[in-house]
């Protein structure tokens, strides 16, 4: 089934309004051929509406959608040759698995023998060989989702759109299918555009993630970039867990921002150039913090805090700490018999690297 080249997709100032409400408020994105791009965001951020406009099920209020350089805004969905997978499988209950998968081929006038061959190939790809004679009701949720996936790729589209396809499955099955999707993407070489509100799913599967909020793209980048270099408070808090500390900018030193924070001097990375006296937020991830008495680099940022809560969570310990002005800070450290557990009420100093300190 290999050998199909993925389509490139360009969204230009894409808008969709329902009356006075803008669901999508001007989205511009270039999705590369063969890329696995995820639209990630909270409920109501515009990600599904964007996907539906690419599919042709929603008409944009403004802007353009080009697939392989050709505008498709005026083109009906069936002419766009796009595969689609939804959360609710949408399988025909009265058709067998083979008939469900072969349905798009039948619509396209593919001969019966060729249909059978392609359906067999698709079942192999989704690890369900020999299931062709069963009916959807005889399958588990995970198997039904695989059938829906097989149906979406059987006619060899160059673009596959998926709207929360794993949302209805339990955690273990969802994690297994995430890895399957990655493998399938590598095998097929086609372009995947995937919608989810699950940050872990997006981080696990995507080449790039477009984080959406209030109908706009807040930030786009590789999973590592978004996690390590969030450009806004929204992205820092939506992807993973973050600590936020209010600070006042004191100046710049070798391209690093120096700020006053809770009576300490904190150095932070910042893409812009904030002015002296600016009130800012310093953010860092809980797992990047350390207790300073465990030994740390003298160049690290340091802050005095009080332990207010200590929770043992198996592989790690999670501490709630309080800074001088009452701001809460979370620290996560691997649990080990060799590491001393901290007691509630204990005054401690925490330390973390300047590279892991971002101004948002």
pLDDT at 339: 79
Do residues 206 and 288 share a domain? no
> pLDDT tens digits for 109-122?
999 999 999 999 99
Cβ 259 vs Cβ 269: under 8 Å: no
Let me know if residue 3 belongs to a domain: no
Closest Cα to residue 58, out of 84, 38, 89, 31? 84
Let me know if residue 225 belongs to a domain: yes
Let me know if residue 65 belongs to a domain: yes
Do residues 263 and 177 share a domain? no
Q: Are strands 358-359 and 279-284 parallel, antiparallel or unpaired?
A: antiparallel
pLDDT at 3: 58
Whole-number Å distance between alpha carbons of 87 and 298: 51
Per-residue pLDDT of the chain (360 residues), as tens digits, is 455 789 999 999 999 999 989 999 999 999 999 999 999 999 999 999 999 999 999 999 999 999 999 999 999 998 898 999 987 768 999 999 999 999 999 989 999 999 999 999 999 988 899 999 999 999 988 899 899 999 999 999 999 999 998 887 888 888 888 988 899 999 899 999 999 999 999 999 999 999 999 999 999 999 999 999 999 999 999 998 999 999 999 999 888 999 999 889 999 988 778 888 899 999 999 999 999 887 778 889 999 999 999 998 888 899 999 998 889 999 999 888 777 889 999 999 999 999 999 998
Helix boundaries (H) for the chain? 47-55, 97-107, 112-125, 141-153, 171-188, 199-205, 223-228, 233-238
Q: Into how many domains does the chain fold?
A: 2
- The domain that holds 42 is classified in CATH as 3.40.50.300
**Backbone region of residue 295 per phi and psi (left: phi > 0; alpha: psi in -120 to 50; beta: other values):** left
The helix-helix angle for 141-153 and 97-107 (nearest 10°) equals: 20
What range defines the domain where residue 132 resides?
9-235
Do residues 95 and 149 share a domain? yes
Whole-number Å distance between alpha carbons of 212 and 27: 9
Let me know if residue 211 belongs to a domain: yes
Q: Please tell me whether residue 123 adopts helix, strand or coil conformation.
A: helix
Closest Cα to residue 163, out of 218, 219, 87, 49? 87
**What is the CA angle 214-89-205, rounded to 5?**
55
Do residues 16 and 152 share a domain? yes
Do residues 38 and 166 share a domain? yes
Do residues 217 and 253 share a domain? no
Domain limit, last residue, from 211, 235, 259 = 235
- The domain that holds 270 is classified in CATH as 2.40.50.140
Do residues 291 and 162 share a domain? no
Let me know if residue 171 belongs to a domain: yes
Do residues 256 and 161 share a domain? no
Q: Mean pLDDT of all residues in the chain?
A: 91
* DSSP bridge pairs for 253: 256
Domain limit, last residue, from 220, 235, 250 = 235
> pLDDT tens digits for 208-259?
999 999 999 999 999 999 999 999 999 999 998 999 999 999 999 888 999 9
DSSP annotation string for 189-239: --EEEEEES-HHHHHHH-SEEEEEETTEEEEEE-HHHHHHS-SSHHHHHHS
Distance between start and end Cα atoms, the chain: 45
């Amino acid at each position: 089934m290999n050998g199909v080249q993925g389509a490139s997709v360009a969204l230009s100032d894409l808008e969709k309004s329902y009356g006075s409400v803008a669901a999508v408020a001007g989205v511009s994105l270039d999705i590369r051929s063969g890329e696995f791009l995820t639209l990630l965001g909270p409920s109501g951020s515009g990600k599904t509406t964007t996907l539906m406009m690419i599919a042709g099920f929603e008409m944009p209020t403004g802007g353009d959608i080009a697939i392989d350089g050709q505008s498709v805004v005026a083109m009906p969905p069936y002419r766009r040759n796009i595969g689609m997978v939804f959360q609710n499988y949408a399988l025909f209950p009265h058709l067998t698995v083979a008939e469900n998968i072969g349905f798009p081929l039948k619509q396209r006038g593919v001969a019966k023998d060729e249909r059978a061959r392609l359906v067999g190939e698709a079942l192999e790809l989704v690890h369900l060989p020999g299931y062709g004679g069963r009916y959807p009701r005889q399958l588990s949720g995970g198997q039904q989702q695989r059938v829906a996936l097989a149906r979406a790729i059987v006619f060899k589209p160059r673009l596959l759109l998926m709207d929360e396809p794993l949302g209805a499955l339990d955690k273990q099955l969802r994690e297994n299918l995430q890895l399957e999707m990655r493998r399938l993407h590598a095998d097929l070489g086609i372009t995947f555009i995937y919608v989810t509100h699950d940050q872990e799913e997006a981080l696990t599967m995507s080449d790039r993630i477009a984080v959406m909020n209030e109908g706009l793209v807040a930030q786009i980048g590789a999973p590592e970039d978004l996690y390590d270099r969030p450009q806004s408070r929204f992205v820092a808090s939506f992807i993973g867990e973050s600590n936020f500390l209010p600070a006042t900018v004191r100046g710049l030193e070798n391209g690093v921002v120096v700020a006053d924070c809770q009576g300490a001097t904190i150095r932070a990375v910042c893409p812009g150039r904030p002015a002296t006296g600016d009130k800012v937020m310093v953010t860092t991830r809980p797992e990047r913090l350390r207790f300073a008495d465990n030994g740390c680099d003298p160049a690290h940022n340091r802050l005095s805090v009080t332990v207010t809560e200590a929770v043992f969570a198996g592989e790690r310990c999670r501490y709630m700490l309080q800074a001088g002005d009452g701001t809460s800070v979370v620290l996560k450290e691997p649990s080990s018999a060799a590491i001393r557990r901290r007691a509630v009420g204990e005054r401690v100093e925490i330390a973390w690297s300047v590279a892991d300190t971002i101004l948002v």
